[in-house]
Structure 1
Amino acid sequence: MTTHRALTTLGCALAAVLATAWCAAPPTRTARPAATTVRTHEGSLRGAVHDGYRTFEGVPYAAPPVGGLRWAPPRRPAPWSGVREAIRPASACPQPAGEVPGGSTDEDCLHLNVTTPDGAGAAHPRPVIVWLHGGGFTIGAGGSYEAHRMAVRGDVVVVTVDYRLGALGFLAHDGLPGSGTFGLADQQAALRWVRSEIGAFGGDAHNVTLAGESAGGYSVCAQLASPAAAGLFDRAIIESGPCTGRPDRQFAPSSVPLSTARAAGADLAAKVGCDFARDAMACLRRVDVARLLAAQDTDQRPANTTPLLPADPASTIAADRFHHVPVLVGNNHDEGNGWAAGIVQAGYPVTPDTWPDVVATFFPAAGQAGKIVRAYPVHRTGGGQVLGAVIGDADFACPTARTAGLLAAHVPVWRYEFADEHAPPLTPGTPPFPLGAPHASELPYLFDLGGRPRALTAAQHRLADTMIDYWTRFARSGDPNGPSSPHWPRQRTLSLAPDHIVPTRGSRFRHHCAFWNALG
């Protein structure tokens, strides 16, 4: 397999995992005839009243990043007169087709959505959970995460955020302030909006939990490490986005040095004909969005060694230079199986004969391939699941364990592993092997993805309720424990499976973490 074909295959596998089955357009939500109105500093918003909760969707938290504001730090939105309708999500940020049907080319996308339970008000403010979506910093939308179950059962206010993606969110270029971090700056602007405005929606501006999954989880890591995020949140939830991700292991999100990001930016400028322009940035700002999307890399990463992110989050956390807040962090038991299935379905079967080449292609660090092949032997059957185990262990389970250990030296940490081997599938069709609990499979237990609940068994519904209880109690007090749920000790990893929620010490051994730690 050539390097170019391997990278193309990796991109396709990433797309198969990230553009999951919540990509269908959210259904039109049925609201009561009554509306609900709140007043923010920019103007009044009219939301929708539902059974037990209210929603305010498509709320601007920053000015449209268009024209001269393309690749500029986010600015406050302009005030409006009258009452602005907030009854449906706004356009997703520009991205190729996938999770968003047909993709998006609308740069006026810096909006958020608020779901608040009935009874939330100034007299009894609720804890706030701010959710950052995943999607490899390339695709995704806050509106894909319908949050009423979490809001109502947990008695919390949930905010889902859209932030700039792809080259529009993470371009780096010589002389461009904010290079490589515009999407992260958008997230901070949303958090500042929450501190300023969430009281009008019944939320407690002094009790904000920043949460996310995959690239959204890594975004939480970046905000933990960013000096500019100081004081913007009080707790953190990191799902399948370990802070110790690294660029040479390409399946988990990570950051890259600014020099690497600038080289990618120069490549993009060349692809769209701006490399020899007298003013490259002026040229790039004139390029059509669709052309930028076609020219950008499949996978995007924020830049470190920048003012917003002075160092890689892993080194920042190891050096105890991060914001000290309680953290709930975890991964899924079979995290890598979705990528492995995508690689197999792209025409690269994993057999005893092909296994060494597959490992060398996707784990190309010098001298490592032979050791991985010996540690994870492939026999006549089950090769795809072995590849999934390698990806899951190397990129998620073991980095999550390391992240938890580094954080726990300084702050309270609760660690989980989602382990429902019969979790409802996120992608259509029949996979080449059973996927177990792959990347993103915990999300339907917390949200109605695309506005549609997944079909869950009675035991899975109980697990979903318990997970929401844990997550929202953590948001309320920094401790997920409560009288209605199995005890979650800080010293153990809590395995989350239907009717089998148990603390365990064995994840490091199940996932060969001693091997990966020794491999470096």
Structure 2
Amino acid sequence: MTTHHALTTLTCALTAALATTWPTAPPTQPTATTVRTAATTVRTVAGPERTAATTVRTHVGAVRGTAHDGYRTFEGIPYAAPPVGNLRWAPPHPAAPWPGVRDATRPASACPQPADEVPGGSTDEDCLHLNITTPDATAPARPRPVIVWLHGGGFTTGAGSSYDAHRMATRGDVVVVTVNYRLGALGFLAHSGLPGSGTFGLADQQAALRWVRTEIGAFGGDAHNVTLAGESAGGYSVCAQLTSPAAEGLFDRAIIESAPCTGTPDRPFAPSSVPLPTARATGDELATKVGCASSHDVTACLRQVTVPRLLAAQNTDQQPAYATPLLPTDPGAAIAAGRFHHVPVLIGNNHDEGNGWAAGIIQAGNPVTPDTWPDVVSAFFPSPVQTKAIIREYPVHGTDGGPVLGAVIGDANFACPTAHTAALLATQVPTWRYEFADKHAPPLTPGTPPFPLGAQHASELPYLFDLGGHPRTLTAAQHRLANTMINYWTHFARTTNPNTPSSPPWPQQTPLSLTPNHITPTPTTNSDHHCTLWNTLG
């Protein structure tokens, strides 16, 4: 197994794992006059009072959302102009005002992406929209905390509309905003002729945050209490925004799920960002593939290429570029140096992050046995010193190779870097660290994996959101865990401290283990995850 093949297999495995997290068809959207109950869907007459409750005026126009049982949603609201024509690969521009009342009862298109996570994919560049979920009361006694959620998907797939946030909004009494941002080459292309190269997707996220600061008060949200949150690529985005000078003052707290900001370049999932020269080399490859490299005006040529052709030509892996105006320094290095926005942080990982990738690698025809184990390790860690140390620390016996590979992937790329990131943050700001450890979490994919996947990457998401509009099947104990997690997340957003009178105590920076029956502080998870080895390996 070559390193390139191993990494490609790894990426494909993740894509496959997350693709079926969302349904194969989008959920039916209720109309503006539909109220959902637990047993049925009831249509009501849209009288003046109900219309007023679902119509909100922003500075650029009014929007009409949907009234549900106990909450309201406003979907597909543009926070920036469509990035088309000359605005393709340009910083986001303000959205144009609209006359009348804009229909905000259904999601807008996802940003362009292949048909993996979002059913059918997307080729629609008019995608810079956000979605708002807010509890029913139109005039709360005081403005509610706001959580802005950035979706994951490897910077190439995903959509804000995949995350139904009504449980978080109603239980936590918060306003939740989910955001679309440009993805893939359209979001992160770097070229010498393009100002803002390599960071257009991050610039979109900042534009959404500015929109929230300006407009969220009309939806009952507190514009002065905004928490930026995300998972996987969304979490890496939070890392980037923590260290971007242009994001100063745009958010007041941060939640980072399964995205250690301080990964190292020699690990399969790292880095979360790449140097600008590397990003430009990738951009040059794309220009060559689509026939623009020899053009007199490469940028103009690229702006004429169709979206399907760009998607076919782009690399599987995408990352933001640093050494750029928006992201001057690698986020990990900036955090290590203490150069980040000093806001409270809640950060964590899942206990078995790597198992989904390991299962995908095995199912792709790469068995992990005592005989193949050295080759598998060297495919990811080509240094003979590293390979020898890893094999000694993680021996494979008999048929247990899958979980061992999963442990290596998870420890190297998530658990140990997360502990390191949290320790660095805690020297400067209030920091709370968790580990989601429900080994019986709902599966993210159909079928039977080659071994139990436990608390794999993304498995905490159904405890916070209904993915794709469909609630996950949880046991009574798992529902209690979901409620506790929402309590922690939203109380952190409200007060900077996740602890509530009714929740198990969570000491600052001491990791909290989140399982259905045991929510307990743990002195350290380093030995469980072999972090002494990974700290030694750098």
TM-score under structure 1 normalisation? 0.98
Of 1-10 and 143-152, the range deviating more from structure 2:
1-10
Residue identity matched to 1:509 = S
Of 405-414 and 483-492, the range deviating more from structure 2:
483-492
Q: Offset of 1:4 from its aligned partner?
A: 4.2
Other-structure match for 1:181: 199
Other-structure match for 1:250: 268
Q: Offset of 1:2 from its aligned partner?
A: 3.1
Out of 128, 140, 146, the residue aligned to residue 164 of structure 2 is 146
Percentage of pairs with the same residue: 77
Please tell me whether residue 369 in structure 1 is matched to residue 382 in structure 2: no
Secondary structure of 1:198 counterpart: helix
Other-structure match for 1:24: 24
Change (3 A) 1:157 1:365: farther
Of 329-338 and 315-324, the range deviating more from structure 2:
315-324
Secondary structure of 2:161 counterpart: helix
Residue identity matched to 1:362 = F
Is the 1:486–1:501 Cα contact (8 Å) retained in structure 2?
A: yes
Is the 2:510–2:524 Cα contact (8 Å) retained in structure 1?
A: no
Is the 2:423–2:509 Cα contact (8 Å) retained in structure 1?
A: no
Q: Offset of 1:3 from its aligned partner?
A: 4.0
Equivalent-residue separation in structure 2 for 1:403 and 1:366 (angstroms): 27
Equivalent-residue separation in structure 1 for 2:276 and 2:455 (angstroms): 35
Is the 2:7–2:268 Cα contact (8 Å) retained in structure 1?
A: no
Other-structure match for 1:292: 310
Other-structure match for 1:51: 69
CA RMSD of aligned residues (A): 1.2
Please tell me whether residue 170 in structure 1 is matched to residue 188 in structure 2: yes
Secondary structure of 2:303 counterpart: helix
Change (3 A) 1:292 1:366: farther
Other-structure match for 1:507: 525
Out of 473, 484, 487, the residue aligned to residue 491 of structure 2 is 473
Q: Which runs of 4+ in 1 moved over 6 A?
A: none
Equivalent-residue separation in structure 2 for 1:7 and 1:474 (angstroms): 36
Other-structure match for 2:370: 352
TM-score under structure 2 normalisation? 0.95
Please tell me whether residue 342 in structure 1 is matched to residue 368 in structure 2: no
Equivalent-residue separation in structure 2 for 1:432 and 1:190 (angstroms): 41
Residue identity matched to 1:272 = V
Out of 465, 468, 481, the residue aligned to residue 463 of structure 1 is 481
Equivalent-residue separation in structure 2 for 1:11 and 1:318 (angstroms): 28
Is the 1:62–1:189 Cα contact (8 Å) retained in structure 2?
A: yes
Of 359-368 and 456-465, the range deviating more from structure 2:
359-368
Is the 2:55–2:65 Cα contact (8 Å) retained in structure 1?
A: yes
Equivalent-residue separation in structure 1 for 2:142 and 2:77 (angstroms): 23
Other-structure match for 2:39: none
Other-structure match for 1:494: 512
Q: Deviations over 1:174-202 (max 9, x none)?
A: 12110100000000000000000000000
Of 309-318 and 6-15, the range deviating more from structure 2:
6-15
Other-structure match for 1:137: 155
Residue identity matched to 1:432 = P
Q: Deviations over 1:378-429 (max 9, x none)?
A: 1112101000000000000001001000000000000000000000001111
Secondary structure of 2:195 counterpart: coil
Secondary structure of 1:21 counterpart: coil
Other-structure match for 1:303: 321
Equivalent-residue separation in structure 2 for 1:140 and 1:250 (angstroms): 21
Please tell me whether residue 319 in structure 1 is matched to residue 358 in structure 2: no
Change (3 A) 1:450 1:252: farther
Residue identity matched to 1:505 = P
Equivalent-residue separation in structure 2 for 1:452 and 1:102 (angstroms): 18
Secondary structure of 1:286 counterpart: coil
Is the 2:422–2:509 Cα contact (8 Å) retained in structure 1?
A: no
Superposition pairs of residues 61-460 of structure 1, within 5 angstroms: 61-121=79-139, 123-251=141-269, 254-365=272-383, 367-460=385-478
Secondary structure of 2:346 counterpart: strand
Matched residue count: 520
Q: Deviations over 1:309-356 (max 9, x none)?
A: 000111111111100000000000000000000100010010011111
Is the 1:16–1:338 Cα contact (8 Å) retained in structure 2?
A: no
5+ long unaligned stretches in structure 1: none
Change (3 A) 1:241 1:20: farther
Residue identity matched to 2:19 = A
Q: Offset of 1:19 from its aligned partner?
A: 2.0
5+ long unaligned stretches in structure 2: 36-43
Equivalent-residue separation in structure 2 for 1:40 and 1:189 (angstroms): 16
Q: Offset of 1:23 from its aligned partner?
A: 4.3
Equivalent-residue separation in structure 2 for 1:227 and 1:24 (angstroms): 40
Equivalent-residue separation in structure 2 for 1:412 and 1:486 (angstroms): 18
Is the 1:122–1:199 Cα contact (8 Å) retained in structure 2?
A: no
